């Protein structure tokens, strides 16, 4: 690939259980030369050697490699993760790390995908195929966060058999294409083509924002989203929004906004995809490290100030996504906890509207590549390495409680010490921000802290929050400036057209003189009164209420019934209830109120609904009007007696007793209520405990699922192996049955392990004889040394062969005993094969007879020729020569006939020739030389040549002269061309003879025949002392081999 | 009837035969019939090379079926390629010739002089009917 060109896009393909089918579909659906490199990552157990690469080769024409460290990734190639390693990528080269543990890496796909996202950015492609857990979900997020393409499998003919993995990826909303495996190839290729379009689009986008028509189109997109999803993005930042829209256009290969708008109108799924894309939130651990450092130094210690072991520090993280921000805070909290004694309880409430993101966060497991911002020390302290991933330690994890919650829609949390809401507000427009920030104010305790992202601010809510650190966006909640609590706004806040505003009370400064006068009259001369709400809480006091009300013991309370002075409470409760129920004014006269110093004041109590209330709950005015001056207790009693007779007095006493009893009952009731409240608190905390236990269970379940999946894979592979074994077994069985070679397998104790059916012809054997020693069985052949032979093979480890000739039955067997050798050196038993060689033996016998017959006929034929010659050439001088030559031929035939091997010894030939001339016996001849076997092919011509030499010697040379001597010797000469036979024929003691002038037939034979037939070199010299003949015959390999065998 | 001595007058004949004595005798026979004899050649390799290099030097060939234990078909192929007719001689039964080569004439050993000459004449197309004595090979 050229340096100038854009780098090859790389597709990470993640699969697990059931992945083979999915991969088959994936690669078979891939167009030729997609221009993409593929890296296949699967969940494989390290113990097993994977055949995956071999299997993939049958599905794709692209070269398939088993990934190795440092391998460069090239387009149109497939790389497969080996079973015992974890794969990562850097600068387009694969990084392979061997694993020490035997357990498989739980999330290899996440690990590779996140590395891929870092390395390739927009050119990374993540493909999640069939699998049984949530692996790939974080990886898909990483790829998506860097602008890459993501795909996940949905069912068709190629599975997925285990849909959990792709479903988890899809449910994050970060998957661009949820399509069947076979359709992915096409999408990937389209993506690769359209990535080049991206730059052009980005340039267009500037124009897009200014164009009025575009604004209209954007509004329509908002409307479609609002109608279909119920979420209004009108408040989102335009730039952010349009970037996401562009991304979707690219995925859909559309190049105009109108076209995309049309697609949105037609396709509700596209609306969902756009919505999810808009919600992408990219976080990492300690994103903006300075801000976190400042938080740890300035804010967190203050949260712990004055808190004991009984107290709780509460933190809320809205929009927590996959949990990095929460756990960063958790780590800071844990570090702070280590510094203080009597540490308070810490709770981090992490909320998000995305349930799947929460699932990932709950697991607390992150690929190493995602832990960039975590210092080495913290990594050691708070993370447990697990393969190539890191799992958050329990001490941090247990601080955090995750729950689904929308900061816009749902009622907020309350009594928080810190709210950390980083990089969520950037997705909200001004009106949503105006809603959310007061919500935070409400949720925080007085002096609580707010921690925002560095690009966010509290906008115009300077009266709600005071800045602690402007740069790092840390704020402290201000006390409420006026009486109106800023309760969180209702959902109406995001209604289109609503203008979020500052709701303030009208200023009282323009009060008229009359009002001032009236106010003073009211204050001076009107009866004392209070205004209470429906629950009885006082919302307003007039002056001089102290005579009737006093602070209740315990925590400050505005509850009027709790504050009522002695004697007043019961009547007060009655009038209030009646006023509430009837909605009219109720008065009760003659109520005796016991004041300080035992004085009694008779009052009349009036309760009346407050008119002209437009909104909110009903309020009631409670008036206290004195009747006469204060009295002592006796006077009061006397006044009462004065008015009534004795019966009344008794009733009055009874009434007083009853009242006291009632009073004590009320107190008991209130105590019980308190207890109930605290029980409720306990219940809430128990509930939280349960929640966290549930989360733990969920994590265990995920682990179980992955183990199960692993088992499943192992099982599948095992089944395949068993099938292979069955086939091999069947083949062997068929081989045994068809060969008809009797074969018996024996163990070391000579017990029968198994045998082939043909054995029954040789041994008296039944299937039930398995396990019996073979020596117990009777055989149908006669081999007394059988047992001895078996033992010998067992000890020596060498095969033995025995030929058995059954005389009586005309049957011949070849018995072969071989050691049964497995991987161990010592023989594990024996294999005895018995072959019926009867036919072979018969053929051999017949062949021998035929050869003998042939010999016989040949010699007879020669005899006939001889006799015809003698008769035909009667008396001719040449007939003797002819007959002698014929005789020499006959001798050669005789030698050949007697030969047991395919060769004859040279000495036998020489000796036979000389003997035939009747001169071998006397001392004039010497024969010397090693044993040289000659091929049958060489024999005839050599014998004829020797015959001519001998005949010549007898006629004219050494054998004619009484003092003549003949020496024949031969040696074998080794030279570079091979070995050759060197034969010297030396005659001596012969008077000088003339070189014969005529080159007769004999001489021609001597000089040329050997040269012609055997490539021999012959030299015939008529020396002063007699004939010397040197013959050198090259020996082919075969006679030497025969020689060595001997 | 053409006299034996001149039956092969002017013909140049290559002899391929591994046995020296038979080769010697065959050369004599052919010379006796007026032919010019080339060879004898005894090995397949040499014979093939001879045919390839010197095809122009001879008109017909006599080819022993068995040369040092091997069938001489490569030589036959070379001869066919060079466009030269030839006669097989063999000590084996004639049916032992492979089917592809069965259309070539064949004389069994020991070779009768007249049969060989008739077969060679038939190849060169100068043979007169009536010269032969009925020993023409069946193949």
- Residues 546..575 of A with a Cβ closer than 8 Å to B: which? none
Burial of A746 (0-12, 13-18, 19+ CB in 10 A): buried
From the number of C-beta atoms within 10 Å of its C-beta (0-12, 13-18, 19+), residue A319 rates as: buried
Rounded to whole angstroms, how far apart are CA atoms A74 and A76?
7
DSSP-assigned letter for residue A735:
H
Cα–Cα dist A370/A376, whole Å: 14
Asked whether the predicted pLDDT for residue A595 surpasses 70, the reply is yes
**More reliable by pLDDT, A659 or A688:** A659
Residue A54 touches chain B, beta carbons under 8 Å:
no
Is-contact A604 A625, C-beta < 8 A? yes
pLDDT at A142 over 70: yes
Tokens representing residue A758 in the block: 């043909």
Min Cα separation B48/chain A (Å):
17
Secondary structure (H, E, C), A311-332: CEEEEEEECCCCCHHHHHHHHH
Contact yes or no for A160/A14 (Cβ under 8 A): no
Beta strands in A492-646 (DSSP E): 528-533, 538-541, 586-594, 600-609, 619-626
Determine the angle formed by the axes of helices B44-53 and B73-82, rounding to 10 degrees: 0
pLDDT of the residue at A728:
93
pLDDT (tens digit per residue) in A199-215? 444 445 544 455 677 77
Question: What are the backbone dihedrals phi and psi of residue A1045, each rounded to the nearest 5 degrees, phi first?
Answer: -60, -30
Burial of A42 (0-12, 13-18, 19+ CB in 10 A): buried
pLDDT value for A357: 73
Q: What is the mean pLDDT of the segment spanning A806-815?
A: 74
- Residue B95 touches partner A, C-beta closer than 8 Å: no
Residue B134 — very low, low, confident or very high, per pLDDT cuts 50/70/90?
very low
Least confident residue range of A8-12, A220-224, A801-805: A801-805
CA–CA min distance B130, chain A (Å): 30
Q: According to the model, what pLDDT value does residue A640 have?
A: 59
Residue A1005: its chain B contacts at CB < 8 A? 20-21
Residue A1042 neighbours by CB distance under 10 Å: 15
pLDDT number for residue A491:
38
d(CA A225, CA A208): 20
CB-based contact, A675 to chain B, within 8 Å:
no
CA distance B66 to chain A (A): 13
| Contact between chains at B20 and A1013 (C-beta distance less than 8 A) | yes
For residue A511, name the pLDDT band (cuts at 50, 70, 90).
Answer: low
Backbone angles phi, psi at A798, to 5 degrees: -115, 145
Chain A interface, mutation test: which of B17, B21, B24, B45, most A Cβ atoms within 10 Å?
B21
A487 has a pLDDT exceeding 60: no
> How many angstroms separate the CA atoms of A758 and A91, rounded?
66
CB–CB of B20 and A1008 under 8 A? yes
Question: Is A1012's Cβ below 8 Å from some Cβ in B?
Answer: yes
Tell whether B45 is within 8 A of chain A (Cβ).
no
Tell me the chain A residues in contact with residue B91 when contact means C-beta distances shorter than 8 Å: none
Residue where the block lists tokens 């390693």: A85
The dihedrals phi and psi of A627, each to the nearest 5 degrees, come to -110, 100
Question: ∠A131-A123-A150 over CA atoms, to 5°?
Answer: 30
Q: Is the pLDDT of residue A197 over 60?
A: no
Inter-chain touch A1013–B40, beta carbons under 8 Å: no
Torsion of CA A292, A295, A298, A299, to 10 degrees: -160
Q: What is the mean pLDDT of chain A?
A: 79
Q: Are A138 and A110 in contact (CB under 8 A)?
A: yes
pLDDT exceeds 80 at position A575:
yes
Cross-chain CB nearest to A1009 (options B21, B68, B69) = B21
Other C-beta atoms closer than 10 Å to the C-beta of A511 total 10
What confidence tier does A665 reach under pLDDT thresholds 50, 70, 90?
very high
**Best mutation target, B15, B17, B18, B20, to test chain A (most A CBs within 10 A):** B20
Which of B20, B68, B69 is nearest residue A1009 as measured by Cβ atoms? B20
Contact B69 A937 (CB under 8 A): yes
Neighbouring-strand partners of residue A806: A811
Which two structure tokens, joined as six digits, stand for A796? 């020596």
Q: Which residues of A touch B23 (CB under 8 A)?
A: 1012
C-beta atoms of B20 and A937 within 8 A: no
Count how many residues are written for chain B: 139
Mean predicted confidence (pLDDT) in A167-181: 77
pLDDT of residue A1042: 39
A996's CB contacts (< 8 A; 6+ apart) are: A1003, A1022
Q: Read off the pLDDT band of A730 (50, 70, 90).
A: very high
**Distance between CA atoms of residues A337 and A331, nearest Å:** 10
Residues of A in Cβ contact (< 8 Å) with B16: none
From its phi and psi, is residue A750 left (phi > 0), alpha (psi between -120 and 50) or beta? Answer: left
User: Contact B19/A1013, CB-based, under 8 Å?
Assistant: yes
Percentages helix, strand, coil for chain B, rounded to the nearest 5? 40, 20, 40
Contacts of B79 (CB under 8 A, 6+ apart): B51, B61, B63, B85, B86
Residues in chain A: 1046
Cα–Cα distance for residue pair A582/A576, rounded to 1 Å: 10
Cis status, amide bond into A848, omega within 30 of 0: no
Rounded to an integer, the average pLDDT of A179-190 is 85
Q: What is the mean pLDDT of residues A625-640?
A: 73
Residue A103 CA to residue A703 CA, distance in Å, equals 12
Q: Do A1009 and B40 touch (CB under 8 A)?
A: no
Task: With CB atoms and an 8 Å threshold, state whether B20 touches A941.
Answer: yes
- Residue A715 is predicted with a pLDDT of 92
Answer for the pair A292, A328: CB distance below 8 angstroms, yes or no.
yes
User: In a 3-state reduction of DSSP, which class is residue A479?
Assistant: coil
B113 CB-near residues (< 8 Å, 6+ apart): B4, B29, B32, B33
Question: Mutate which of A1005, A1013, A1015, A1016 to test chain B, going by most B C-beta atoms within 10 A?
Answer: A1013
Number of Cβ within 10 Å of residue A548's Cβ equals 25
Which residues on A lie below 8 Å from B42 (Cβ)?
Answer: 1012-1013
Is the pLDDT at A99 greater than 80? The verdict is no
Enumerate residues 972 to 1011 of chain A having a beta carbon within 8 A of any beta carbon in chain B. 1004-1005, 1008-1009
Helix (H, G, I), strand (E, B) or coil at A402: strand
Which whole number is the average pLDDT over A502-525?
64
Give A217-231 pLDDT, tens digit per residue. 888 888 888 777 666
pLDDT (mean) for A728-738: 87
pLDDT tens, position by position, A978-990: 788 888 888 877 7
Residues 924-943 of A with CB under 8 A from B: 937, 941
Lowest mean pLDDT among A35-39, A178-182, A358-362, A673-677: A358-362
Contacts of B68 in chain A (CB under 8 A): 937
Distance from CA of B41 to the nearest CA of A (A): 8
Percent of chain A scoring above 90 in pLDDT: 5
- Tell me the chain A residues in contact with residue B18 when contact means C-beta distances shorter than 8 Å: 1013
Give the closest-approach CA distance of A993 to chain B in angstroms: 28
Q: Which residue has the tokens 């104790």?
A: A749
Cβ-Cβ contacts under 8 Å, B40 against chain A: 1012
Say whether pLDDT at A290 is over 80: yes
| Count of beta carbons in the 10 Å neighbourhood of residue A310 | 8
What does the DSSP 8-state code read for residue A368? Answer: G
The 3-class SS string of A704-731 reads HHHHHHHHHHHHHHHHHHHHHHHHHHHH
Token duo for residue A891: 């001798």
Question: How confident is the model over A858-882, as a mean pLDDT?
Answer: 79
pLDDT of residue A411: 74
Residue B81 contacts A, CB cutoff 8 Å: no
Q: Are B8 and B33 in contact (CB under 8 A)?
A: yes
User: Residues A417-453: pLDDT tens digits?
Assistant: 999 988 787 667 667 888 888 888 888 888 899 998 8
Tokens representing B13 are 């004949």
Phi, psi of A58, deg, nearest 5: -80, -15
Distance from CA of B122 to the nearest CA of A (A): 30
| Angle subtended by helix axes A137-145 and A108-120, to nearest 10 | 10
Chain B residues with CB inside 8 Å of A941's CB? 20
**Does B40 sit within 8 Å of A1012, measured CB to CB?**
yes
Interface size A-B, in CB pairs within 8 Å, comes to: 18
Give residue A500's pLDDT.
35
Per-residue pLDDT at A1041:
38
Structure tokens belonging to residue A79: 């790389």
- Burial tier of A983 (Cβ tally within 10 Å: 0-12, 13-18, 19+): buried
Q: Does B40 touch chain A (CB under 8 A)?
A: yes
Query: Do A361 and A402 touch, CB atoms closer than 8 A?
Result: yes
Cβ(B52)–Cβ(B41) under 8 Å?
Answer: no
CA distance B119 to B139: 12
Candidates A944, A1005, A1013; nearest CB to B42: A1013
Cα–Cα dist A177/A337, whole Å:
46
Closest chain B C-alpha to A939 CA, distance in angstroms: 13
What mean pLDDT is predicted for residues A114-119? 86
- Number of Cβ within 10 Å of residue A426's Cβ equals 15
Give chain A's count of helices (H) and strands (E). 31, 36
Residue A594 backbone class (left: φ over 0; alpha: ψ -120 to 50; beta: rest): beta
Quick one: pLDDT at residue B10?
Answer: 81
Q: Compute the average pLDDT of residues A63-89.
A: 86
CB A261 within 8 A of CB A217: yes
Helices (H), A614-747: 633-643, 646-739
DSSP conformational letter for A491: G
Q: Which two tokens stand for residue B7?
A: 């039956």
B18 interfaces chain A, CB cutoff of 8 Å: yes
Those residues whose C-beta lies under 8 Å from the C-beta of residue A595, and which sit 6 or more positions away, are A547, A565, A601, A630
Q: Rounded mean pLDDT of A1001-1012?
A: 80
CB contact, 8 Å: A518 with chain B? no
Cβ contacts of A1012 on chain B, cutoff 8 Å: 20, 23, 40, 42
State the SS3 of A942-959. HHHHHHHHHHHHHHCCCC
A238-251 and A257-266 helices, crossing angle to 10°? 80
Q: What tens digit of pLDDT does each residue of B28-84 get?
A: 888 888 888 887 888 888 888 888 888 888 888 888 888 877 888 888 888 888 888
Please tell me the pTM assigned to this model.
Answer: 0.39
Lowest model confidence (mean pLDDT) among A251-255, A467-471, A637-641: A637-641
For residue A883, the Cα-to-chain-centroid distance in whole angstroms is 95
Chain B residues close to A1006, C-beta within 8 Å: none
Q: What pLDDT is recorded for position A724?
A: 94
A653 CB neighbour count, 10 Å cutoff: 10
């Amino acid at each position: 690939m050229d340096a100038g060109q854009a780098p090859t896009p790389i597709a990470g393909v993640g699969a697990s259980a059931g992945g083979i089918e999915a991969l088959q579909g994936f690669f078979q659906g891939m167009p030729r030369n997609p221009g993409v490199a593929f890296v296949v990552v699967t969940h494989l157990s390290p113990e097993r050697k994977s055949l995956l690469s071999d299997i993939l080769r049958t599905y794709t024409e692209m070269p398939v490699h088993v990934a190795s460290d440092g391998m460069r990734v090239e387009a149109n190639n497939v790389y497969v993760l080996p079973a015992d390693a974890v794969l990562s990528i850097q600068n387009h080269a694969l990084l392979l790390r061997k694993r020490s543990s035997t357990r498989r890496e739980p999330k290899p796909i996440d690990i590779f995908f996140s590395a891929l996202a870092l390395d390739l950015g927009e050119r990374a492609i993540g493909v999640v195929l069939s699998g049984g857990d949530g692996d790939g979900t974080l990886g898909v997020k990483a790829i998506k966060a860097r602008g890459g393409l993501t795909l996940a499998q949905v069912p068709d003919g190629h599975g997925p058999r285990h849909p959990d993995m792709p479903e988890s990826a899809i449910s994050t909303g970060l998957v661009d294409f949820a399509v069947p495996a076979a359709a992915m190839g096409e999408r990937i290729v389209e993506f690769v083509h359209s990535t080049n379009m991206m730059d052009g689009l980005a340039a267009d986008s500037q124009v897009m924002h200014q164009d009025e028509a575009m604004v209209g189109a954007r509004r329509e997109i908002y409307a479609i989203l609002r109608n279909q999803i119920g979420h209004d993005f009108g408040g989102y930042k335009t730039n952010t929004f349009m970037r996401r829209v562009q991304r979707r256009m690219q995925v859909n290969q559309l190049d105009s906004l109108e076209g995309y708008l049309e697609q949105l109108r037609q396709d509700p799924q596209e609306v969902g995809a756009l919505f999810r894309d808009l919600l992408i939130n990219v976080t990492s651990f300690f994103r903006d490290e300075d801000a976190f450092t400042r938080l740890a130094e300035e804010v967190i210690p203050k949260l712990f100030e004055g808190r004991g072991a009984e107290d709780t520090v509460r933190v809320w993280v809205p929009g927590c996504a996959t949990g990095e921000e929460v756990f960063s805070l958790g780590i800071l909290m844990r570090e702070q906890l280590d510094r203080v004694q009597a540490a308070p309880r810490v709770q981090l409430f992490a909320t998000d509207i995305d349930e799947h993101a929460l699932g990932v966060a709950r697991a607390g497991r992150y690929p190493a590549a995602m832990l960039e911002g975590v210092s080495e020390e913290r990594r050691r302290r708070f993370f447990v390495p697990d393969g190539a991933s890191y799992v958050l330690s329990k001490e941090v994890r247990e601080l955090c409680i995750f729950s689904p919650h929308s900061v816009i829609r749902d009622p907020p949390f309350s009594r928080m010490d810190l709210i950390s809401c980083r990089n969520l507000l950037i997705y909200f427009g001004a009106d949503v921000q105006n809603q959310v920030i007061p919500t935070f104010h409400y949720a925080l305790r007085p002096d609580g802290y707010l921690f925002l992202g560095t690009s966010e601010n509290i906008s115009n809510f300077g009266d709600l929050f005071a800045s602690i650190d402007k740069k790092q966006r840390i704020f402290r909640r201000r006390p409420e400036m006026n009486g109106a609590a800023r309760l969180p706004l209702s959902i109406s806040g995001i209604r289109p057209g609503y203008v979020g505003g500052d709701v303030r009370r009208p200023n009282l400064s323009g009060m008229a003189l009359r009002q001032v006068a009236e106010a003073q009259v009211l204050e001076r001369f009107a009866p004392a009164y209070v205004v209470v709400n429906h629950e009885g809480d006082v919302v307003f006091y007039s002056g001089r209420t102290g005579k009737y009300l006093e602070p209740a013991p315990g925590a400050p309370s505005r509850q009027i019934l709790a504050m009522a002075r002695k004697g007043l409470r019961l009547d007060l409760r009655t009038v209030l209830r009646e006023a509430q129920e009837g909605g009219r004014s109720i008065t009760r006269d003659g109520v005796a109120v016991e004041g300080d110093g035992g004085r009694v004041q008779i009052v009349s109590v009036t309760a009346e609904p407050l008119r002209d209330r437009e909104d909110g709950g009903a309020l009631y005015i409670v008036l206290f009007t004195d009747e006469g001056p204060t009295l002592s207790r006796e006077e009061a009693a006397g006044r009462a007696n004065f008015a009534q007779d004795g019966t009344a007095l008794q009733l009055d006493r009874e009434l007083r007793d009853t009242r006291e009893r009632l009073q004590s009952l009320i107190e008991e009731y209130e105590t019980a209520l308190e207890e109930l409240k605290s029980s409720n608190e306990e219940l809430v905390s128990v509930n939280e405990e349960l929640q966290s236990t549930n989360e733990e269970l969920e994590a265990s379940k995920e682990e179980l699922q992955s183990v199960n999946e692993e088992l499943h894979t192992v099982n599948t592979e095992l089944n395949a192996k068993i099938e292979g074994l069955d086939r091999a077994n069947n083949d062997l069985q068929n081989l045994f049955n068809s060969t008809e070679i009797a074969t018996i397998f024996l163990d070391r104790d000579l017990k029968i392990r198994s045998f082939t059916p043909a054995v029954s012809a040789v041994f008296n054997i039944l299937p039930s004889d398995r396990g019996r020693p073979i020596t117990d069985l009777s055989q149908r052949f006669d081999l007394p040394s059988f047992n001895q032979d078996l033992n010998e093979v067992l000890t020596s480890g060498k095969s033995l062969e025995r030929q058995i000739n059954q005389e009586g039955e005309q049957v011949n067997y070849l018995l072969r005993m071989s050691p049964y050798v497995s991987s161990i050196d010592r023989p594990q038993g024996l294999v005895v094969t018995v072959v019926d060689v009867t036919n072979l033996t018969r053929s051999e016998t017949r062949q021998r007879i035929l050869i003998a017959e042939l010999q016989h006929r040949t010699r007879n034929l020669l005899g006939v020729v001889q006799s015809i010659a003698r008769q035909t050439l009667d008396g001719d001088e040449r007939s003797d020569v002819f007959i002698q030559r014929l005789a020499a031929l006959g001798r050669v035939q005789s030698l050949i006939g007697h030969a047991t091997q395919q060769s004859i010894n040279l000495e036998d030939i020489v000796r036979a020739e000389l003997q035939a001339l009747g001169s071998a016996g006397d001392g004039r001849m010497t024969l010397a030389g090693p044993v040289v076997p000659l091929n049958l092919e060489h024999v005839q011509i050599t014998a004829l040549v020797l015959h001519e030499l001998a005949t010549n010697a007898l006629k004219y040379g050494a054998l004619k002269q009484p003092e003549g001597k003949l020496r024949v010797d031969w040696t074998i000469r080794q030279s570079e061309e091979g070995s050759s036979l060197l034969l010297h024929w030396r005659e001596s003691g012969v008077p000088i003879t003339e070189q014969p002038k005529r080159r007769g037939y004999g001489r021609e034979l001597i000089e040329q025949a050997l040269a012609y037939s055997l490539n021999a070199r012959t030299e015939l010299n008529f020396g002063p002392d007699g004939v010397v003949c040197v013959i050198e015959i090259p020996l082919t390999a075969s006679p030497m081999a025969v020689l060595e065998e001997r | 009837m053409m006299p034996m001595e001149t039956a092969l007058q002017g013909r140049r004949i290559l002899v391929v035969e591994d046995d020296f004595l038979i080769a010697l005798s065959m050369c004599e026979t052919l010379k006796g019939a007026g032919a010019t004899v080339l060879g004898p050649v005894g090995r397949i390799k040499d014979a093939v090379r001879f045919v390839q290099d010197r095809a122009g030097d001879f008109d017909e060939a006599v080819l022993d079926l068995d040369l040092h234990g091997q069938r001489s078909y490569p030589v036959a192929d070379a001869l066919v390629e060079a466009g030269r007719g030839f006669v097989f001689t063999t000590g084996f039964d004639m049916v032992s010739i492979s089917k592809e080569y069965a259309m070539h004439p064949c004389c069994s050993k020991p070779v009768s002089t007249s049969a060989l000459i008739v077969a060679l004449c038939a190849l060169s197309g100068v043979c007169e009917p009536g010269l032969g004595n009925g020993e023409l090979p069946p193949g």
